[in-house]
Each structure stands twice: as C-alpha cells, then as structure tokens.
C-alpha cells in the first residue's frame, strides 16, 4: 500500500514537471506565445485580447500555468497550427498506432529473445552460445533506419513479399475506433474483415521486424546474462547435487530466478523501443506519433510539438513507472530502480 | 640491493593490466578494438588521407559506380554521388564528423553526469531523493523527443543535435555515478580515509574516482554507441547536421534520392555506421566480460 | 455475436494467409485507384491557392469549371457552360449553362437542387466581391485571381435566368475565357454555402468540399491520405470512373517510386529525373512525357539590399553555369530557359538574349557594386519536386559551389512546403529557387503572376519586383487581339527583363507521369492538374 502511494506521488510529480516543461516551451519556441499555447492565430486585436484574457496570459506565470494544467486535464489541448484540428484528436489517432507497433515488436522480442537467451545461457561458453551471442551483438548494432531501408530493398522491391508503407492498404476505409488497426478491422462493418486483416498483417511484417531485430538482440543478451548469473548461484549446485532432473532444475529454479531481474531492464528497453518505432514510422509511412512529431517539426507546428512532447513523455514514463512498480510488487527484496547494462 | 619480496611472481600486474590481459585473450574483442582504433585514426587523419575534398563537386563524374563494379574506376574507390562528390572521401570525412562529435559529447555528458552524480551520491536526505526520483523518471524520455524539442527552439544543426544527445545521456551517468558513490561510501577504505580526516574533495579524488574509472569506461562505451546511432539518426531525419556537411546519416539520406540507380550511396554510409557501432559494442562487451572475469578470479 | 464471427474470420485469415477467395480479392484491389501525391493540399478549394498540389487534388476530381481546355489544341471548349457569346466590344460575356448537373451527396451534405446560375454567381463572387460573406473565409486570399487582376476587372456578374449568366468586364481582356478554364476557376455550390453559413461554420466549405466533379470527398488525413469516392450521379456519366480514388501522400520521390514498383500506388506524381530510366526499363510501368508549360527560375528578393541593385543580380546570374544545372538536376529532360516563356507558347522569342557563364566578370561587377568577398546570402530551395525543378536542394548546392568561386557564401534554407511558402510570402528570403507551371498557354499567364506589381501581395511574385514600365507593357499586350502586335510587345518585355534580371530563368522541363500498365485511360494534360475521370484499373 505504501508503495502504491509512493509511486503515485512520484507519478504525479513527474507529470507536473513535464507539464511545466511543456508550458515553458510555449515561451521558449520562436513566435507568438499565444499562438504556441493555443494554436489559434487571432484575426484581429479584439480576438487577441479575448484569447489573452481567456488563457490568463495577463496574469502571473503561476496562474497561467495552473490554467494551462486545468485545460490539459479538461482535454483542451489546443489546435494544430497547420491543420487547425484539435490536437487531442490528432494525438488520439497517432499515439495508438505507435503503441501498437511497439507492442508487436516487444512481443516478438519477448517470444524470440527470452527462449533463445535461455538456451544460450544454459549452453554458456559453448559454440552455440558463442554464435548466438555474436549474432545478437551484430543485430544489436544495426542502425534502425538503415536496416529498415535494407529490408525495404530486399523484401519489398526485390522479392515483393511485403508492402512498404502504411498499416493497411488505403483501399480499406477502416474506421478509427480503438486506434489499433487489427482490432479496428475486426470491429469494422463496412469492409471485408478477413481480407483487410491479412492485408494489415502483411503491412506489419517489415516495420515490426526492423524494430524487433534490435529489441530481440538486447532481450537475448539480457536473458543470457541473467541465466548465467543464476547458474553460478549455490542453490543450483544444491539442486543438482540432490539429483533433480535438468528439466526440473530449469523450470523450477533457473527460469523464475532468471526472469525476475529482466523485468527492470525492460523498462529501459521501452525508451529504445519507442525511439526506434518513431524513426521506423517515418520510413514506412506508419501513421504514428513519431511520424506526426517529425512532420510537426518540419512544418514548425509549435503547438503540436508542445503537446506531442508531453504526450510521448507521459506514455513512456507511465510505462516505465508501471514496470518498476510491478517489479517492486512481485519482488519487494529488490533495490528500487535497479538498472543494468546489456 | 636485494629487496624483500612477499610474492612468488616476478611482477604483480595492476588491475588494469589484468583486465587488458583478459581483454586481449578474446580475439573478437581484440579485433573490434583494432577496428575501433582504425575509426579513431580515420577520424583524426582521415581528411589528410582522403583523395578528394568531400565537398568537391564534379559534374563530369556523376554517380560513378564503386571500383569493384564493371564500369567503376579506381580513381573513385567507392564511386561518386549525385553531385559527383567522391563517396570514399565523404565517408572518411563523415567518420570524423560522426565519430568525433560522438566522442566529444560523451566526454561532456560524462563530466557533467559524474559531477552531479557525485554530489547526489555523497549527500543524502530528502533533497537528493527528490532529485533522484525525478531524474530517474526523466531518464525515460527518448533522445529523439529531446532532439525535436531542441531543434524547435534553436533550429537544426550538428551542434544543436549534439546538445540534445548530451542532455539525454547525462542522466545515465548521474545514475551510475550516484549508485556507485553510494556503495563505495559505505566501504571500509573510505571510512578509513574519513577517519584520517580527508575532506569530501580528497575523499572523491583520492579514494572514489580511481575505483570509478572502470565503470566510467564501460558506461562510456555504451554511451558512445548510443551517441553514434543518435547523431546519424538525427542527421538522417534532417534534424541534426545539415547538408552539405558530410555526416554519415546525412550522406545516407542524400543517397536515398538515388537509391535505385546508385545503391552504393545508401549501402556504404549505412555499412560504415553499422561497423562503427559494432566495433564500439564489441569493445564494450569485451571490456565488460574482461572485468567480470578479473573480478571473479 | 457478430463481433465474435468477425474474430473467427480474422483468425481464419491469419491461419491461411492466402485463404480468401482469389477472385474476390482481385475484384477488391481493382475497385480503387491509389495515386501517390507529393504533398498536402492547403485545402480543398483551388481558388484559394496556386500550388499545383492543391490543384491536383481538387480541380479535376471534385469540381468542374464553366470552360475547359482541349488537351490537344489548347482551345477553350465547353464544360458546365454549354455555349457562350462575347459582345462586339469584348466586355459582355454571356454563358448558357448545362442542366441536370448534380452536386455531390455526402455524409455531411445532401443537395436539394442541381447546378444553376446561382452557383456560378456565388463561385465568382467568392473571389471577386469583398462584401460576399465567404470572401474573408480561409484567409481571404485568392492569389490566382489577384495576381492576374481579374477580380478588379469584373464589373458585374448577372443572373439572366436560372441557366444563363452574364459577366460584364471593365476593360477588354483577351485572356479572360482562358482564365475561366484554368484549374482555379472552379464552381462551388451556393446551396451548400448558404447551409454552412446558417450553421455558422462557413470555413468548412474549403475543408469539406462539395462540387460537381467525378469524385466526391470522403476524408483527409494530413500527411497520410485523401479519400474520394465515385460520384454516382456525375453529369458526364459515372460508368467509366473508378469506385474509389485515394491520394497517398508520400513526400519522398524515391519512396513513391518504390511504392509504384510494389504496386502500392497505381500512379505517382513527379517521378524524379534520375529515376526515369528505371521506369522505362520495367515492363509493368509506363512513363509518358510531354513538353510542359513551365519555367524554373532563381528569383532574387529585390526588396532586400543588395539585391535591389540590378548589377548585383547580373553578377550572380553570370556566376552560374545554367548548362551544368540542366545536366545535373534535370538530366537533360529540360531545355535551357532564356525568358519566362517555353517554346510551346506562341509568343516564344527564339532570339532573346541570355546571360552566359562568366565568373570573372561576375566578381568584377560585385566589386563595383561594393560587395565584399565573403558576403553571405541565403538561397531558399523548395522542399518538393516540381516538373520545373525536380531537385531544388541539389540545384542550390550546385549554385552554392559556383558562388563560392566568386567569394560569396551561401546558406541553403528549406522548410516544409506550406511553411516555406508562408515565409516566402512574408519576404524572408534573399533568393529562391522555384518556378511556375502555367495554367494556360497565354503568355500573360507567365508574365503577370510572376513579376507584376499586383502579384506581390498575392505571393506569386517571388522577386517582389515592381516596375511600372513592365506593368504598362503587359497591360498593353492584353488590349489587343493581334498576335503579331502582342508578340512584339512581349519581345520588348523580354529585353526589359534581361536588363533588370529580377529573376534568372533556368529551365523549361518536360512533364512526366508514371503509372502501372493496368491503369487505363491516364493522359497528361498540359493544361493544369492531373485528372482521374475515366481512368480505370484492370488486372
């Protein structure tokens, strides 16, 4: 219980810091503070005066900030300077796309990385381990934007296996309900869901693979390290001396103890994962938040950057804190915030 | 004069020498070390070796294929780009820009991170706890996001992107320094120095810092590989270095326009970034396992 | 229950990746055309914007005009106006309108009546009449009509009866009919406008458009796509039109080509000059080309010293080698421009003077003008490919090189297209690499929007150059129908421009269109934007 309270305080505090940063950005960005804060370009002085009063820009900074936070909480995030649309709507469409892509990549990394890592760990310092270790080192070193290009070149252009852009063929008019394309397709009434689902899966292959390649490599390395550390511990020797079968030792002792320390390491992975997803999005025209933010910077859409930064940071930090909390709950003996190298 | 020698061996290797011996024993790590040395050499002397000025356009030699292809020429080892610039010279210059700025910014981040981390580690109480927690949370913000914000405030450019990455790397150094200093402070040898009347500065420079260097080298190598990837990613996204500055990511993005007719313009700069990062990671990994071996022996 | 079924469907699909009925799948992929366009339209009303991106996305898809150009002869032919009459003094134009022309019926508006005279009057009044409630909507700028001075020249637009309209001019204008046939003179729905006004949301007219064209608007997502559906009641008949039309917004030309090769696009905008060979060599792709009515140029901001000095501009022009630019940027798919007019125009002057490449003289002129070595200027390079300049950034880098040879430092500036043009309109540039695609073959369509005083506020005069003599000459050319006389006047204009050099004409490029062979009915129309009416997809 105490932990929950501690973590919630931390969460709220961090969000406040972020909100303050995002508020400060309106002043730091070039151009008119009013426009940066609202996204509305006033047509005349009267409208301008009215807006200034509404956003309390004539008051001290503290009041401006409080009003800003209040507006954020009410869902009034301002308007895009370029498209004129409410930013909340735009982010509500873009953010799930990124989360979806990252989720699939993370799942791929978990389902491939953990078993391979365990295997390499159990066979540590043999040829197999050596090969897996080297390969994971290689794929961990790929710059994600380059490997995505190479994938496009090979799998789209040369072999024609997978399409290279978007989440689903644009011929499917998938209504946006949850923001997750696979779910939306299944919910949609106006299209042939089976056809669209297959199409969407095809579209997922390359972007997921590009991100997962790197995440899988780090997952393998983390798991392998952890398994090796567990293997050295005295209780494994004890179990062996008691004559337990290898299977039993692995599932009852090694696996659980090796997986526990992996969890906090996943927290750092989230940041890398989302960064990579954001870069890959621009190459595969994936309509996610990374693509959206990079367009916003090209277009100098300051209101969009202000809120976009807040949204991405909030999502990343929420995930990180959640994982930390989860980790503390299942394993209270751990040092808080333990992080490690890959 | 014969001296009394407690040990059997002729010489007793220092911890560093022992790490080095372990490191050399791994062929892969040592190869990585040599490649990394090569990159280091290139980034210092590359422009002197380069056959052409990396910005020199040559309208008579547009998109010449690399020398190993049928119609390539030896005068352009890696071929030329869409403006007739020599790709080999551009990549050499690109190594200098990318690798050089990465090293520079890691050093800056390390300096700042260690200073703050030490202060945080040596003081305790509410103040440092609040700082620590906020820092921990903020550490999760992706570099790309910080870079986008900095570009929006200051404009694009290599230096601005370097600031962004430095800013993103600092928390990591703070974190590790802080926890390292924390644990060291509890050890007896520090207590001994304290009892000898050492003030905090002496304590840090004479007792803690020498023990921290290994941790810093390992963290530095990790940070370096992140820095190289981030600098080139920002250059690639046109948020960092701006053309015509030969930064590897920028060269790659430039090559994208002619990816079909001149694929080497995409393949070679990408391969260079990959090799650079791989070499850094191999060396970093080798160092870590060498350290681990030394400590367990 | 239904959802459960669909889940099952999805799972089945997952298990048998190719499990669906093949014929069904093919029928589906044939039902729509995907066109990879290069940028976002500003909005969905070409009256408000001269960029060809906006025109491509709207003019011939969503709307019709009173008149059209014949793609082969360039003659004005009937469209929504079935016939017209010009009075003897050339001031009164009477148009007879088509009947039974249906407007789009969409999720956001259901029209109650077909097209009639009120729609014509509203559409023209929108850009002409300051007191029209829609005039200030979406910024209240109508650059095409402002730069050509058409709005000021219309005295009145009168309704004779439901299907007959009269337009009365103040002065004779020999290019008036041609202007009504351009991409920008689209016909909007007056009924829709009234409906929006009554709901208090007039700005929606440019974002949720209603027109009479072959396709109707469904949805738009900035940086991603524009979705159109077939207009079932299209007055020319909807049979030949595709069920769906989708613009896939893809700014990078290399990615557009990649998508064309993989079949994710059926046609692409602006294939890069370097990639033309690849398209020609692939048998499933078609490349068609036509000489374009366009000019790519390097304009100096003549409001900013030292670019207000003609001898500085001359020096800069002399410092660059245009032939090299043609070779490196256009890959020989363009001809060298001496004046604003391409050879396809009837007023083309073959013996016009042109600036050569002479860096020594250039440095000398710069010294005389007091420009110190090391002087720094900006060249703005547009971020999008255009036929008239397929790679402005590359051209800027080449020019940067040439100018460094005469000791001038160049900073290359580029932004996203919308921002780029906004800043250009504010005059923040020293010089800019940009160009112009004409909307009709009339020379006035080059000279007036590009360099007349009236075109400065509307933003098409990138040199921000205003010269009374020039304006007088091009006005004079419009007062006569005698082509020989007009040609002589334009020769004089060319001489004036050669002396003043507010901009350096660089190239007239060919126009290309690349599409997959299974697209039937694609043609390049030299007059205005791309059009998809009558284009179908087969296997």
Report all structural domains of chain C as residue ranges with CATH numbers, in order of start: 2-41+213-266+518-537 (3.40.190.10), 67-195 (3.90.76.10), 294-511 (3.10.105.10)
Using one digit for the tens of pLDDT, what is the confidence trace for A205-247? Answer: 999 999 999 999 999 998 998 898 888 888 888 888 888 888 8
Give the C-alpha separation, A281 to A213, whole Å: 15
Q: Which of A198, A201, A287 sits opposite C224 (nearest CB)?
A: A287
For the cut 60, the answer to whether the pLDDT of residue C525 exceeds it is yes
DSSP class per residue in A260-281: TTHHHHHHHHHHHHHHHHHHHH
Give the C-alpha separation, B232 to C372, whole Å: 36
Query: Would you call A197 and C250 a contact, using CB atoms and an 8 Å cutoff?
Result: no
Handedness of CA B95, B101, B104, B107 (dihedral sign): negative
Using one digit for the tens of pLDDT, what is the confidence trace for A129-171? Answer: 989 999 999 999 999 999 999 999 889 888 888 898 888 888 8
- Measured CA to CA in angstroms, residue C133 lies from A342, C137, C161, C197, C458 at distances of 65, 8, 23, 8, 20
Q: What is the pTM of this model?
A: 0.84
Q: What are phi and psi of C292, to 5 degrees?
A: -95, 155
CATH of the domain at B280: 1.10.3720.10
Report the gap between the CA of C289 and the closest CA in chain A (Å). Answer: 25
Residues of C in contact with A157 (CB under 8 A): 258, 261-262
Give the C-alpha separation, C163 to C410, whole Å: 58
Domain extent, residue B30, equals 24-296
Q: Which of A83, A187, A194 sits opposite C20 (nearest CB)?
A: A194
In a domain, B14, yes or no: no
Q: For tokens 């008949």, name the residue.
A: C237
Q: Residue B128 — very low, low, confident or very high, per pLDDT cuts 50/70/90?
A: low
- pLDDT value of position C531: 87
Q: Which of C19, C246, C383 sits opposite A170 (nearest CB)?
A: C246
Residue from A180, A299, A304, A308 to probe the interface with C (highest C Cβ count within 10 Å):
A299
Residues of B in contact with A33 (CB under 8 A): none
Give the C-alpha separation, A157 to A149, whole Å: 11
Give the C-alpha separation, B197 to A44, whole Å: 70
Question: What's the structural domain count of chain B?
Answer: 1
Residue from B136, B291, B292 to probe the interface with A (highest A Cβ count within 10 Å):
B136
Give the C-alpha separation, A178 to A99, whole Å: 12
Omega before A163 within 30 of 0, i.e. cis: no
Report all structural domains of chain A as residue ranges with CATH numbers, in order of start. Answer: 95-300 (1.10.3720.10)
In a domain, B10, yes or no: no
Q: Residue C3 — very low, low, confident or very high, per pLDDT cuts 50/70/90?
A: very low
C-contacting residues in B 39-58 (Cβ below 8 Å): 55, 57
Structural contact between residues C134 and C48, judged by C-beta atoms closer than 8 angstroms: no
Six-digit token pair at C245? 């039309």
**Percentage of the residues of chain B whose pLDDT score is greater than 90:** 24
In a domain, B7, yes or no: no
Query: Would you call C274 and B244 a contact, using CB atoms and an 8 Å cutoff?
Result: no
In a domain, B290, yes or no: yes
Q: Residue B109 — very low, low, confident or very high, per pLDDT cuts 50/70/90?
A: very high
Return the exposure string of A208-242: e unless at least 16 CB atoms fall within 10 Å of the residue's CB, then b: bbbbbbbbbbbbbbbbbbbbbebbeeeebeebeee
Give the mean pLDDT of chain B.
Answer: 84
For the cut 80, the answer to whether the pLDDT of residue C377 exceeds it is yes
Residue from C5, C12, C28, C275 to probe the interface with A (highest A Cβ count within 10 Å):
C28
Structural contact between residues C429 and C59, judged by C-beta atoms closer than 8 angstroms: no
Structural contact between residues B160 and B150, judged by C-beta atoms closer than 8 angstroms: yes
Rounded mean pLDDT of B138-149?
82
Give the mean pLDDT of chain C.
Answer: 87
Comparing alpha-carbon positions, the chain B residue that sits nearest to C276 is: B261
Q: Exposed, middle or buried: residue B61 (CB in 10 Å: 0-12, 13-18, 19+)?
A: middle
Q: Residue B151 — very low, low, confident or very high, per pLDDT cuts 50/70/90?
A: confident
- Selected residue with higher pLDDT from C161 and C73: C161
Query: Would you call B244 and C398 a contact, using CB atoms and an 8 Å cutoff?
Result: no
Query: Would you call A170 and C248 a contact, using CB atoms and an 8 Å cutoff?
Result: yes
Using one digit for the tens of pLDDT, what is the confidence trace for B53-108? Answer: 888 777 777 788 888 888 878 888 888 888 888 889 999 999 999 999 999 999 99
Question: What single DSSP character describes residue B151?
Answer: H
Query: Would you call A299 and C416 a contact, using CB atoms and an 8 Å cutoff?
Result: yes
How many CB pairs below 8 Å do chains A and B form together?
120
DSSP class per residue in C194-208: HHHHHHT-GGGGGTS
- Whether chain C has a CB inside 8 Å of the CB on A340: the answer is no
Residues of A in contact with C258 (CB under 8 A): 152, 156-157, 164
Of C107, C96, C82, which is closest to residue C159 (Cα–Cα)?
A: C96
Using one digit for the tens of pLDDT, what is the confidence trace for C423-476? Answer: 888 889 999 999 988 777 688 889 988 999 888 888 889 999 999 999 999 988
Structural contact between residues C338 and C352, judged by C-beta atoms closer than 8 angstroms: yes
Give the C-alpha separation, B155 to B166, whole Å: 17
- Can you count the helices (H) and strands (E) in chain A? 15, 0
Using one digit for the tens of pLDDT, what is the confidence trace for C390-404? Answer: 889 889 999 998 999
CB-based contacts of A129-138 (< 8 A; 24+ apart in sequence): A129/A224, A132/A220, A132/A224, A133/A221, A133/A224, A134/B28, A135/A217, A136/A216, A136/A217, A136/A218, A136/A220, A136/A221, A137/A217, A137/A221, A137/B278, A137/B281, A137/B282, A137/B285, A138/A217, A138/B278
- Whether chain A has a CB inside 8 Å of the CB on C12: the answer is yes
Using one digit for the tens of pLDDT, what is the confidence trace for A4-41? Answer: 888 888 888 888 888 998 999 989 988 888 888 888 87
Six-digit token pair at A103? 């989720």
C267 forms beta bridges with: C35, C515
CB-based contacts of A2-9 (< 8 A; 24+ apart in sequence): A3/A325, A3/A328, A3/A329, A3/A332, A4/A325, A7/A321, A7/A324, A7/A325, A7/A328
In a domain, B104, yes or no: yes
Residue C470 half-sphere exposure toward CB, CA atoms < 13 A: 23
Structural contact between residues C401 and B53, judged by C-beta atoms closer than 8 angstroms: no
Q: What are phi and psi of B86, to 5 degrees?
A: -70, 120
For the cut 60, the answer to whether the pLDDT of residue A303 exceeds it is yes
Report the gap between the CA of A24 and the closest CA in chain C (Å). Answer: 24
In a domain, B9, yes or no: no
Q: Tell me which of A167-171, B162-166, B201-205 is least confident.
A: B201-205
Structural contact between residues A169 and A192, judged by C-beta atoms closer than 8 angstroms: no
**Percentage of the residues of chain C whose pLDDT score is greater than 70:** 96
Give the C-alpha separation, A316 to A5, whole Å: 20
Of C458, C424, C464, which is closest to residue C140 (Cα–Cα)?
A: C458
- Out of B28-32, C15-19, C524-528, the most confident range is B28-32
Query: Would you call B260 and C393 a contact, using CB atoms and an 8 Å cutoff?
Result: no
Of A108, A98, A96, which is closest to residue A205 (Cα–Cα)?
A: A108
Find chains touching chain C: ≥3 CB pairs under 8 Å.
A, B
SS3 B163: helix
Do β-strands C225-230 and C375-381 pair in parallel, antiparallel, or remain unpaired?
unpaired
Comparing alpha-carbon positions, the chain A residue that sits nearest to C248 is: A170
Q: Residue A339 — very low, low, confident or very high, per pLDDT cuts 50/70/90?
A: very low
How many CB pairs below 8 Å do chains A and C form together?
110
Structural contact between residues B232 and B54, judged by C-beta atoms closer than 8 angstroms: no
- pLDDT value of position B125: 59
In a domain, B19, yes or no: no
Q: Tell me which of A110-124, A246-260, B248-262, C58-72 is least confident.
A: A246-260
SS3 C297: strand
Do β-strands C375-381 and C431-437 pair in parallel, antiparallel, or remain unpaired?
parallel
C230 forms beta bridges with: C215
Report the gap between the CA of B255 and the closest CA in chain C (Å). Answer: 10
Give the full edge-to-edge strand order of the sheet including C81-86: C81-86, C92-97, C164-169, C154-161
Q: Is ipTM over 0.85?
A: yes
Using one digit for the tens of pLDDT, what is the confidence trace for C186-238? Answer: 999 999 999 999 999 998 999 999 999 999 999 998 889 999 999 999 998 88
Give the C-alpha separation, A84 to A81, whole Å: 6
Q: Count other C-beta atoms under 10 Å from residue C20's C-beta.
A: 19
- pLDDT value of position C431: 93
SS3 C367: helix
- pLDDT value of position A107: 92
- pLDDT value of position A2: 77
Q: Which of C18, C224, C227 sits opposite A173 (nearest CB)?
A: C227
In a domain, B3, yes or no: no
């Amino acid at each position: 219980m105490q932990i929950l309270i501690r973590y919630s305080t931390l969460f709220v505090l961090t969000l406040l810091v972020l909100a303050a940063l995002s508020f400060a950005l309106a002043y730091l960005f070039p151009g008119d503070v009013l426009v940066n804060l609202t996204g509305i370009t006033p047509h005349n002085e009267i409208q301008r005066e009215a807006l200034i009063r509404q956003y309390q820009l004539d008051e001290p900074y503290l009041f401006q900030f409080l009003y800003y936070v209040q507006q954020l909480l009410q869902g009034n995030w301002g308007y895009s300077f370029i498209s004129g649309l409410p930013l909340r709507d735009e982010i509500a469409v873009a953010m799930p796309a990124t989360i979806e892509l990252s989720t699939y990549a993370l799942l791929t990394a978990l389902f491939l990385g953990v078993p391979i890592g365990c295997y390499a760990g159990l066979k540590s310092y043999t040829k197999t381990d050596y090969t897996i270790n080297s390969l994971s080192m290689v794929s961990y070193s790929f710059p994600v934007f380059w490997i995505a290009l190479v994938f496009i070149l090979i799998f789209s252009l040369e072999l024609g296996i997978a399409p290279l852009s978007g989440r689903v063929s644009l011929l499917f008019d998938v209504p946006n309900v949850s923001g997750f394309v696979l779910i939306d397709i299944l919910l949609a009434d106006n299209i042939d869901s089976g056809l669209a689902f297959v199409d969407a899966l095809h579209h997922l292959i390359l972007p997921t693979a590009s991100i997962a390649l790197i995440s899988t490599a780090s997952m393998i390395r983390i798991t392998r390290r952890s398994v090796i550390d567990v293997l050295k511990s005295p209780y494994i020797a004890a179990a062996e001396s008691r004559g337990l079968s290898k299977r039993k030792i692995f599932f009852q002792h090694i696996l659980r103890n090796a997986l526990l320390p992996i969890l906090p390491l996943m927290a750092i992975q989230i940041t890398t994962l989302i960064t990579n997803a954001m870069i890959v999005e621009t190459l595969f025209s994936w309509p996610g938040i990374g693509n959206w933010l990079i367009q916003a910077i090209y277009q100098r859409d300051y209101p969009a950057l202000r809120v976009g930064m807040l949204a991405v940071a909030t999502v990343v930090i929420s995930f990180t804190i959640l994982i930390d909390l989860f980790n503390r709950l299942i394993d209270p003996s751990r040092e808080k915030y333990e992080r490690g190298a890959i | 004069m014969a001296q009394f020698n407690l040990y059997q061996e002729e010489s007793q290797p220092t911890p560093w020498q022992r790490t080095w011996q372990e490191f050399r024993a791994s062929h892969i790590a040592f190869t990585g070390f040599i490649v990394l040395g090569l990159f280091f050499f290139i980034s210092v002397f590359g422009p002197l070796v380069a056959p052409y000025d990396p910005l020199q356009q040559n309208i008579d030699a547009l998109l010449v294929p690399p020398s190993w292809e049928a119609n390539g020429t030896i005068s352009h080892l890696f071929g030329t780009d869409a403006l007739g610039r020599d790709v080999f010279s551009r990549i050499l210059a690109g190594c200098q820009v990318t690798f050089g700025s990465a090293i520079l910014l890691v050093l800056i981040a390390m300096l700042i991170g260690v200073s703050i981390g030490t202060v945080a580690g040596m003081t305790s109480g509410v103040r440092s706890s609040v700082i620590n927690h906020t820092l921990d949370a903020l550490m999760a913000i992706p570099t790309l996001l910080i870079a986008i914000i900095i570009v929006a405030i200051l404009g694009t450019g290599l230096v601005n992107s370097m600031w962004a990455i430095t800013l993103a790397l600092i928390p990591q150094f703070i974190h590790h320094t802080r926890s390292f200093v924390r644990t060291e402070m509890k050890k007896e040898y520090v207590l001994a120095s304290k009892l000898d009347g050492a003030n905090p500065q002496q304590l840090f420079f004479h007792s803690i810092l020498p023990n921290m260097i290994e941790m810093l080298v390992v963290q530095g190598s990790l940070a370096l590989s992140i820095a190289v990837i981030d600098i080139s990613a920002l250059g690639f996204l046109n948020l960092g270095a701006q053309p015509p500055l030969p930064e590897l990511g920028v060269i790659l993005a430039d090559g994208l326009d002619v990816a079909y007719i001149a694929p080497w313009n995409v393949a070679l700069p990408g391969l260079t970034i990959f090799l650079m990062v791989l070499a850094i990671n191999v060396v970093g990994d080798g160092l870590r396992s060498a350290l681990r071996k030394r400590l367990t022996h | 229950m239904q959802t459960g079924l669909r889940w099952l469907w999805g799972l089945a699909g997952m298990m048998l990746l190719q499990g669906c009925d093949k014929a069904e799948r093919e029928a589906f992929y044939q039902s729509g055309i995907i066109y990879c366009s290069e940028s976002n339209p500003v909005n969905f009303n070409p009256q408000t914007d001269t960029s060809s991106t906006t025109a491509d996305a709207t003019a011939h898809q969503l709307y019709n005009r009173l008149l059209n150009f014949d793609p082969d002869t360039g003659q004005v032919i009937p469209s929504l106006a079935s016939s017209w009459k010009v009075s003897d003094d050339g001031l009164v134009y009477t148009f007879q309108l088509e009947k039974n022309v249906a407007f789009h019926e969409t999720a956001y508006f259901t029209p109650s009546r077909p097209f009639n005279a009120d729609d014509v009057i509203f559409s023209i009044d929108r850009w002409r009449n300051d007191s029209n409630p829609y005039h200030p909507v979406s910024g209240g700028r109508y650059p095409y009509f402002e730069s050509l001075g058409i709005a000021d020249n219309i005295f009145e637009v009168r309704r004779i009866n439901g299907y007959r309209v009269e337009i009365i001019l103040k002065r004779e204008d020999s290019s008036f009919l041609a202007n009504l046939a351009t991409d920008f003179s689209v016909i909007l729905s007056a009924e829709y406008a009234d409906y929006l006004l009554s709901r208090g949301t007039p700005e929606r007219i440019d974002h949720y458009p209603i027109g009479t064209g072959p396709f109707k608007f469904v949805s738009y997502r900035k940086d991603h796509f524009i979705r159109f559906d077939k207009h079932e009641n299209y007055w020319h008949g909807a049979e030949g039109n595709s069920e769906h039309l989708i613009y896939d917004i893809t700014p990078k030309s290399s990615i557009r080509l990649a998508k064309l090769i993989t079949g994710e696009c059926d046609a692409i905008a602006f294939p890069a000059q370097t990639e033309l060979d690849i398209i020609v060599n692939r048998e499933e792709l078609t490349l068609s080309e036509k000489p374009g009515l366009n000019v790519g140029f390097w304009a100096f901001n003549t409001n900013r010293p030292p670019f207000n000095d003609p001898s500085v501009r001359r020096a800069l022009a002399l410092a660059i080698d245009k032939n090299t630019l043609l070779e490196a940027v256009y890959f020989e798919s363009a001809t060298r421009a001496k004046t604003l007019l391409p050879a396809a125009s009837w007023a083309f002057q073959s013996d016009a003077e042109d600036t050569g490449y002479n860096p020594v003289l250039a440095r000398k002129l710069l010294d005389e003008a007091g420009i110190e070595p090391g002087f720094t200027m900006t060249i703005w390079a547009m971020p999008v490919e255009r036929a008239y300049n397929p790679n402005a950034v590359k051209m800027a880098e080449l020019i940067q090189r040439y100018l460094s040879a005469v000791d001038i430092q160049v900073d290359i500036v580029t932004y996203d297209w919308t921002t780029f043009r906004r800043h250009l309109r504010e005059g923040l540039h020293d010089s800019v690499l940009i160009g112009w695609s004409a909307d009709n073959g009339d020379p006035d369509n080059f000279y007036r929007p590009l360099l007349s005083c009236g075109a400065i506020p509307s933003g098409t005069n990138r040199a921000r150059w205003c010269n009374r003599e020039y304006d007088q000459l091009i006005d004079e050319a419009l007062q006569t129908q005698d082509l020989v006389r007009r040609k002589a006047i334009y020769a004089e204009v060319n001489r004036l421009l050669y002396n003043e050099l507010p901009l350096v004409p660089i190239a007239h490029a060919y126009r290309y269109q690349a599409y997959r062979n299974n697209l039937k009915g694609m043609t390049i129309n030299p007059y205005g934007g791309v059009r998809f009416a009558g284009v179908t997809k087969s296997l």
